[in-house]
Amino acid sequence: MHTRVAIIIGLVWVAGLIGLDICLAVDGRAGNTWSEIIRTWARETPVVPWICGVLTGHFFHPDIWSTPILGEASSIAFLIWGTVVVGMLGLICSRLGYPVAPWTPLVPAFVAGALLWPVEA
C-alpha cells in the first residue's frame, strides 16, 4: 500500500514538473525551462552530471550488485567525498579555462552509484 501511494505522489509530482516546464517553454522567454537550466548548470560544473550518474547507478544497477561493496556508511561517505572532489576539480578546471564535458563525470558516477549505493532488493 505504501509503495502505491509513493508511486502516485511521485507521478503527480513529475506531471506537475512537466506541466510547469511546458508552461515555461511556451512563455516566450529563452533559457527558463528546467531542461535549459539543468543543461546550463551541467556545463558550468561537473557536479550536476556526477549526481545524475550516481542516482542512475543507484536505481538502475545490474542485479548482480545488490549490496554495496563497502559498508553502507562507508559507501555513502565515499560518495559524498567523491561529490566534493568532483566539485573542487570542476571549479579548478573552470577557473583555468578548461571546460569539463558533462558526460565525463557521468560515466564513473554511474559505476560508483551502482557499486556503492545499489537499491537493496
Same structural domain for residues 41 and 67?
yes
State the virtual CA torsion across 106, 108, 109, 115 in degrees, nearest 10. Answer: 150
Same structural domain for residues 13 and 67?
no
Same structural domain for residues 79 and 48?
yes
Domain total of the chain: 2
Same structural domain for residues 79 and 65?
yes
DSSP code of residue 61? -
- Residue 121, domain member (yes or no): no
Reply yes or no on whether the pLDDT at 121 is more than 70: no
Same structural domain for residues 69 and 87?
yes
Same structural domain for residues 54 and 107?
yes
CB 109 within 8 A of CB 54: yes
Range of the domain at 7: 1-30
Same structural domain for residues 13 and 66?
no
- 18-29 pLDDT per residue, tens: 999 899 889 888
Single-letter amino acid, residue 45: T
Helix, strand or coil, per DSSP, at residue 71: coil
- 29-58 pLDDT per residue, tens: 888 888 888 888 888 889 999 999 999 998
Helix, strand or coil, per DSSP, at residue 113: helix
- Residue 24, domain member (yes or no): yes
- Taking the model in full, what pTM does it have? 0.77
